[in-house]
Structure formats: structure tokens, C-alpha cells
Amino acid sequence: MWYFSEEEKELQRVCQKFAQTELAPVAEKHDTEESFNLKAFKKMGEIGVLGITADPEYGGAGMGCLSATLVMEEFGKACASSTLSYLAHSILCVNNIQNNGSKEQKQKYLPKLITGEWIGCMGMSEPEFGSDAVGIQTRAKKEGNNYIINGSKMWITNAQYADIAYVYTRTGDEKKNLSTFILDKNEGHFKAGKPIHKMGMRASPTGELIFENCKVPSSQLVGKEGDSIYHMMKNLDIERITISGISLGIAQACVDQCIKYAGERKQFGKNIGNYQLIQKMVAEMAAETEMMRSFLYNTAYKYDQGERGPVTAAMVKLTIPKLATKIALDAIQLHGGYGYSREFPVERMMRDNKLNEIGAGTNEVMIMIIAKHLLSEALKK
């Protein structure tokens, strides 16, 4: 994009190289085994991207939404699963602490999270409360200088490996009386439940966080009681933009794979790339991917310029993962029987991308946000 700075272009080059050497060669292996590429995750700390939006004072890169989205795209081309775990750590945990934590909390947690010594996650969804985030029932009860936390969180990326969890709880009976805590597994603040086996994103560990009379010092509270709604809203926009970067990476990888396959696969005596139906599929997939890229990076750029709002982020989150799933399905179709087999990566890309239509707010929730805004604006006229 024309507005990428030299620093951002260099970041892109570094991430491309890292993705091709550390993620792509073992993506299929980790997907098959449902194993976490912990070695590569630790190396992300070495190249300086685990704290992409964090202040340099704590070891972060001090960059913005655009840079974070660049990392998501480049990593997402190679292994969407590893990229999802990266997002959960860098955006859902590190970025939240950077934006909402006290100076003492930042000094205590960010340096080790940014180097990769510690792995982070965020706890919002619960077994009975996914899209209804403000309906959560995990409760923190104040007792002297401590809080006693009981409840559980479900569908938590990095749950089994997380040292630090940024967790939303209920601290009062009113629906919006929610509070945020930074919890440390090494101090007994939570434990992980059994892993969840998934259709896609199989190399990104997903599980449950369990709180059973966990005694947590008041110093772990982020801000004040009742601040969680503000914390949630503050981070949702960048989460929805950056997760769309993973979908963009998947779409581009599908296009690249289809171009390669069309030039190699022969039917009826010639490469299938010579047939107009195949040319139409490849051309449309490539055009759709470029459209996604323009919309996504323009939105990320505007976010960094201070033009923020839930509606545009919801539009990005609604359209880009949906288009990426369509492109991945087209890629499978173009590959024929090979596309439906595990011999080629396009079936994994489709399985992985479907999660992006669900996580960080389902397509249906995005439609509700967009429609509510548009209709309320129309009624004002």
C-alpha cells in the first residue's frame, strides 16, 4: 500500500521470511497432530512482534493497528493457527494490558510477555455466554484486600499454555457491573481445563479456564470495579481488524496455491490454466483478495490516525472472513479431488478461516452492529 512506511515495509519483509522458515514447513504437521508450535512462538519474541503495539519502555515495538495487521497477514499465509495464538497473546492480552493496566501492572507483566517468556490469553466467553459478553457469570467477590473468583471461561485460545490471563468477571448484580483482572497461573489464580478439539485452527490450543475459589490480590484488578465494558469496547475494534488480517493471509495463500496448481496440473493434454473457466476463477479470487486488502489496510490506517468506531471494524470483520471462506472453497473446487484431500493445503485453509467468521464476534453480531447504526442514523433524518 502506498502509505506503508519504510519501517512497516521492513516489518513485512521480516515477517514474510519468518513465516516461510518457521511456520509454513511444519503447518501441516501441527494441524494433523493438533500440536502447538511453541518453538516458533518463542522466536516471535526474538524478532520483536509479541509486543507489536506495546510501549518500547516495556520492550514493545510501539507500532499500531496497521503494523499488527501486516504481521497477521504474513503469518496467516503460512499458518493461520499459529497466527491466531499470536493474536490472542499480542492483541487480546498484551494490548489490553498496555491500554488499560496501571504502570505497576505493565512493569510486572509486559516485559516477560513481550519476550515470550510468558504466554498470554484473554478470558471473555463462557459456556453459556458467547455473543452475550455482558451476560457473563464468572464472579469476583471482594474479601478484605483480596477477591475470590469462581466460574469458568470457554473457547479460550492459548488456555493450556497461558501463564497470564486477562479476564472479565462480574463484581455486582447489575448486568454491566463487570470488572477486569490480570491473573497469573503461577500464583494459582486459575487452571486450564481439557483441550477442545476443533474443525480448524487445530494447531492453536483452545480450552477452558477454571476458577475455583481463586484468591486474587486487589492489585490484580485493572482500573476500577465496573470498568470492563469500557475495556471490552476499547479493544474490540483492533481485534476485529487484526483477525481479518489472518483471513486476508489465507485468501492470498489460496490465490498463490491456485496459480501454481493451474500452471502444473494437466487435463485433456494441457495445463488447466489454459481453460477459461479456470482463468475466471483465478481472476475473480485475485480481484476479491485485492479488494479485501484495500478495505482492510485503509481501515487499519484510519484507526491509527484516530478514526475509530465499531461500525467500520464490524464491516471489515463481516466482509473479509466471509470472502476468504468463499475464496478457500473456490480454491478447493479448482483443485478438484486433490483440493478435498489433505495432499494440498487449501482444505486446511478453508477449515482454519471458518473460525474467523465466529471468533471476535459472529457474522450475525456484526450485522446487528452495522444495521443498528445505519438505521439509527436514518431515523435521525
Catalytic residue list: 239
Partners of 210 in the β-ladder: 152, 191
- Phi, psi angles (nearest 5°) of residue 138: -55, 130
Give DSSP secondary structure letters for 132-164.
-GGG---EEEEETTEEEEEEEEEEEETTTT-SE
- Residues 6 or more apart from 43 whose CB is under 8 A from it? 18, 22, 116
Q: Are 101 and 134 in contact (CB under 8 A)?
A: no
Rounded CA-CA distance 245/77 in Å is 10
What is the DSSP pairing of strand 164-170 with strand 120-123? parallel
- Residues 6 or more apart from 33 whose CB is under 8 A from it? 203
Grid look-up 498463490 returns 256
Rounded CA-CA distance 378/381 in Å is 6
